[in-house]
Structure 1
């Protein structure tokens, strides 16, 4: 055998192995952890399965290499950046997940943390380096899982009005994908040393919305046992009438029902962007993609179900960041935040807008407008979810206030998604050294250590590690995560009451 052939044989035989229900996998030995990437949890949703609920994986013969991330769901290429001039490929064959485990064998089954990425249900991938999960695994002795799911028109438009006997179309495809991934975890995670009875789902932004939606999804019941919703946008989940209206507009833009099957994923994406533009012109900030309250797979609005005790009876951590909206209002082409844009975002009569904005002392300054928009999208609805869930299960609320000097200098502050750097431990790596140049490194690492400790302990026991009281409708205990974290009771009470009045008038 030549040296080259011997090297190739060794490369194919090296690496940890595990057998799951569909066959044997060979992963990556990364020293302290083992990683298994690109594992299919459902059959490729292509051809006749394009608009169908996820189907069972076909078993394979031999050993399947699980050493590379698989394709991301179809989306704009610019959203798939994973390195310097390196982009993750995309395709409709995207229903895969990744598992990271400690390299040392488990003496007892380990807690499992399943991460659902965000991206407005339009973008994102489990291959994003931020989401690797190695730090959580090394620090917490947990098993980490990250998933892909269908996005945009292929995952989150309700096209069921165009279903026929010859071409059936299922609804809530992205949500169904997430449930299918959790079913895979339930069946297979013990093979990786994980405990199928201690599964925590956690996600950020659209991933946070997925968490609060899964709380009310009957098919997900029993598949997870704790939940963490970071910057959830609960109102991404919409009623059936609205969702079907968007679906009809999309099909009209596409060229009619016959184009549903014949269009490429690129054509679907372009049409989806066109729909997004039209909807945003009608009400700024509205995303026409999200789970649908269809009376079937998702029987009722999650907030209603949770408040009535019909949601999953599991402990919950939920919270938001102090300046969520600066990430969006500072995007190129957005222009300076204005009172008119804020009113457009709220989509309410002027008298109700005036009553609400009176609770923001410096309104209409730019910081106050940013705070208002962030509260509208994330904080106010998350408070409602927390209050509803706290009636039935232990609930812990947080506000992320920490901002490294780099984000402060750029005018972002503790903006949307910035807490992910703490949760995934990136401040301990190269990013931490960059922070060190401005004197932030030790503080950032301390913040990260605290969040990881709470998230990991919660996944293990159902309660955070530190002194963090449960949330209720009276004390409203909130952990403020900052240079020095602290508990505050009913912070921003006047603003909260203003939002309650605003929502009461709307409903």
Structure 2
């Protein structure tokens, strides 16, 4: 721009009272000092946004080891773009072992002590990142006066590959490295969130699928005690962790695929990322199907007990909790196959395999029970309902029962509202509550469509905000939400309109309660 043009624009701005120079830069690109160094963000619709804020050092040089704080810096670092995701299969962009970054959205950098909502992404323990448009915190922060944080951390073999019993030091904590990353991120929140307008004493962690499972595991992890004060899990439970012997068995199979004998296991710390990931695609030797499962390990170090077995962890019993699920969870996993929507009764027993049910049960009595409970169900309806109840809903019930038995009941919800996508035939499936809880129904990837979508987002997101703010999800847009007890099993049915029910799908719950349950994968 020519000098005279710059001067005329400056004069016009001053005449309108618009700050110029350094003052304007501070307003449009605010700088916040963190314990590691200053970061410069951007303003988006009145919300200060800081993307790609480093909370840990590059994990590559310390592969399979606990994370460490980054080297400090003195000049402001631009926090304008998301940081890399953990290495993983699939199409997640921008992958690197240097992945310990988080993102912050705040409606004010004024130390107003707002509730803090830390979202932990799903994708089992294998894939994903905190960078999805569905997780953008702008609307949640602006509409509810809260601070929102999302996190990247190590996944799959990099976060949960268990080398302790094979390679020993320095890999003793390898089976829970991804969880230790999350703890480091929550320590960053504790130490820095006040500078972003948040209250370090009101930190809520919430997450869907694998994110919820990671949170359930943190609830039983001693090093995480005191770092969060409210919890909400969405279709994500962790009743049991992987036992050390099964985890070791998987690692041995992985080493075999790498052509490494156990006495050379330490070499995995230097092999190429692509080589390690490719070798993990072998069939899981414990499950007998799917690629290798990597998840938290009962290692008697970071994780000294199972998350919700034999009871709810006492260290987090005082923390208010929401436990949610969707009515048709497995339509997300199994509904993509058109054949599953046109099953006949003769087809059904062969479809109800261990791989689909995740428990050891004969299909015939299950089918007979469902035909008695729901005479109008088609074979496909029975297939989706039974697989949901057996493998996806079951963990949520177990956790709710454990909290109720401990005298610290959770608030339980079930999403019944169905998006009109695909004519509604996918039901209320796994992931459908993500855009509702984060108030992002118009974001790329959202399945929440139709005239009721925003109303449902208001119902669920405001419940989460209320929990973050006061420890109680009740708000004016819901009927009174009572905690879950073992007598009535009160459950909020998230539908249009929302309603409370006692023991929804009780007959299904009783059917599967008679069959032992082990967390899938563990």
The bucket for the TM-score relative to the shorter chain is 0.7 to 0.9
2:351 maps to which residue?
341
CA distance in 2 between counterparts of 1:178 and 1:505 reads 25
1:326 maps to which residue?
331
Residue 139 of structure 2 corresponds to residue 132 of structure 1: no
- 1:460 offset after TM fit, Å? 0.3
CA distance in 2 between counterparts of 1:273 and 1:169 reads 23
Residue 421 of structure 2 corresponds to residue 406 of structure 1: yes
1:192 maps to which residue?
196
- 1:394 offset after TM fit, Å? 3.9
When normalised by structure 2's length, the TM-score is 0.85
- 1:489 offset after TM fit, Å? 0.1
CA distance in 1 between counterparts of 2:123 and 2:448 reads 26
Superimposed CA distance per residue, residues 108-158 of structure 1 (whole angstroms, 9 cap, x where no aligned partner) = 300000000000111101111111111110111000000001011101221
Residue 315 of structure 2 corresponds to residue 307 of structure 1: no
- 1:172 offset after TM fit, Å? 0.5
1:42 maps to which residue?
56
Residue 295 of structure 2 corresponds to residue 290 of structure 1: yes
Farther-moved stretch of structure 1 (443-452 vs 230-239): 230-239
Corresponding pairs, count = 484
Q: For residues 213-232 of structure 1, what are the structure 2 equivalents within 5 Å?
A: 213-232=217-236
- 1:105 offset after TM fit, Å? 3.4
Match of 1:360 among 363, 370, 388: 370
2:400 maps to which residue?
386
1:476 and 1:167, CA in 2 relative to 1: closer, same or farther beyond 3 A? closer
1:17 and 1:265, CA in 2 relative to 1: closer, same or farther beyond 3 A? same
Farther-moved stretch of structure 1 (399-408 vs 120-129): 399-408
1:359 and 1:381, CA in 2 relative to 1: closer, same or farther beyond 3 A? farther
CA distance in 2 between counterparts of 1:468 and 1:339 reads 39
- 1:166 offset after TM fit, Å? 7.1
Match of 2:83 among 53, 70, 76: 70
Superimposed CA distance per residue, residues 411-455 of structure 1 (whole angstroms, 9 cap, x where no aligned partner) = 3111100111211222366899994xxxx32x1111111111111
CA distance in 2 between counterparts of 1:287 and 1:274 reads 6
1:470 and 1:407, CA in 2 relative to 1: closer, same or farther beyond 3 A? farther
Greater per-residue helix proportion: 1
- 1:483 offset after TM fit, Å? 1.5
Which sections of structure 2, spanning at least 5 residues, go unmatched? 7-20
Q: Name which one, 1 or 2, has greater alpha-carbon Rg.
A: 2
CA distance in 2 between counterparts of 1:295 and 1:472 reads 32
Contact 1:234/1:378, CA 8 A, preserved across alignment: no
Which sections of structure 1, spanning at least 5 residues, go unmatched? 81-87
Contact 2:176/2:297, CA 8 A, preserved across alignment: yes
CA distance in 1 between counterparts of 2:45 and 2:286 reads 49
1:426 maps to which residue?
440
1:430 and 1:333, CA in 2 relative to 1: closer, same or farther beyond 3 A? closer
Q: For residues 69-468 of structure 1, what are the structure 2 equivalents within 5 Å?
A: 69-78=82-91, 80=92, 88-103=93-108, 105-106=110-111, 108-165=112-169, 170-234=174-238, 237-256=241-260, 257=265, 259-276=267-284, 282-283=288-289, 288-304=293-309, 306-307=311-312, 309-331=314-336, 338-345=348-355, 346=357, 349-351=360-362, 353-361=363-371, 365-390=379-404, 391-409=406-424, 411-427=425-441, 435=449, 440-441=450-451, 443-464=452-473, 465=475, 466=478, 467-468=480-481
CA distance in 2 between counterparts of 1:359 and 1:223 reads 45
CA distance in 1 between counterparts of 2:240 and 2:276 reads 20
Contact 1:339/1:369, CA 8 A, preserved across alignment: no
Superimposed CA distance per residue, residues 227-284 of structure 1 (whole angstroms, 9 cap, x where no aligned partner) = 00100142573222211211121111122125412321111111122245x666x257
- 1:358 offset after TM fit, Å? 3.9
CA distance in 2 between counterparts of 1:179 and 1:303 reads 19
CA distance in 1 between counterparts of 2:154 and 2:47 reads 28
1:413 and 1:45, CA in 2 relative to 1: closer, same or farther beyond 3 A? same
1:428 and 1:71, CA in 2 relative to 1: closer, same or farther beyond 3 A? closer
1:218 and 1:37, CA in 2 relative to 1: closer, same or farther beyond 3 A? same
2:500 maps to which residue?
487
1:297 and 1:354, CA in 2 relative to 1: closer, same or farther beyond 3 A? farther
Contact 2:325/2:393, CA 8 A, preserved across alignment: yes
Contact 1:447/1:482, CA 8 A, preserved across alignment: yes
1:359 and 1:212, CA in 2 relative to 1: closer, same or farther beyond 3 A? farther
What is the aligned-residue RMSD (CA, Å)? Answer: 3.0
CA distance in 2 between counterparts of 1:197 and 1:334 reads 51
Contact 2:242/2:296, CA 8 A, preserved across alignment: yes
When normalised by structure 1's length, the TM-score is 0.88
1:194 and 1:169, CA in 2 relative to 1: closer, same or farther beyond 3 A? closer
- 1:192 offset after TM fit, Å? 0.6
